[in-house]
Chain A
């Protein structure tokens, strides 16, 4: 067998005449009005809150179905919703539902109403303000219920 080695090709060295181009880390692509804009983040949050609410809904249908088993079984499971850690979870749940609902309404206004499309940035602020109002109305009252007695 001829013991000729292969792959001895000498890599061509960069020639001084034609220096390799220097690459820098790509910046955010120019010409996009979407990436990094609050509109993108409301899309991301709509997805995350949507998935979270979906999984809660699966569990919530199952826990409510226990009313068909026995009063004791239902009370035992619903009792876990009343402990302080779950109480904070309920704050997160209502916050997620509130954001998903208000942002969904914003999407509808933008889709069906030219005024909404034109003023989508204003609508985003209105969503945030209404969301804060909702939580100010809900959270203190809920936490008093959770932490009292």
Chain B
């Protein structure tokens, strides 16, 4: 016995070659998502759980972390993966709800602009950061600044 199924009549776009960006976006959300679970919970554990948690956060703490290449790369990876993951999610939501073409374009333009600016800013901060700035009070700096 055979069952005949009608040809679907809902309008759909037929792809003709080229890179399937939506597919790669879909894959990116899942791959970066798994990495972010490790990166973010590691970040939260070290910053909020160990020692006095949020009370211990200050310039000296961040200076100590960001002078270590391990945490520099951890934070760089976290910055890029998280911000692009978030921006792509916001793009999806914008496409779902902003039905007016102009509004849609403006919102996605704003997301793209914020993402690019913050990726550049964040990366520059991580790699040009000086944990022992000249002229700063020694009690605000990591202990290794006054060791030498």
Contacts and interface: CB of A to CB of B under 8 A. Distances in A.
A142 B121 contact: no
B83 A61 contact: yes
Contacts of A94: 44, 48
Contact of B122 (A64, A72, A112): A64
Contacts of A104: 30, 33, 37
Interface string B53-70: 111011110110010000
Contacts of A47: 93
Contacts of B54: 81-82, 87, 90, 142, 145-146
A62 B124 CA distance: 12
B113 to A, nearest CB: 12
Contacts of B89: 50-51, 54
B129 A138 contact: no
Interface of A: 47, 50-51, 53-54, 57-58, 61-62, 64-65, 67-68, 70-72, 74-75, 78, 81-82, 87, 90, 94, 97, 101, 104-105, 107-108, 111-112, 138, 141-142, 145-146, 148-149
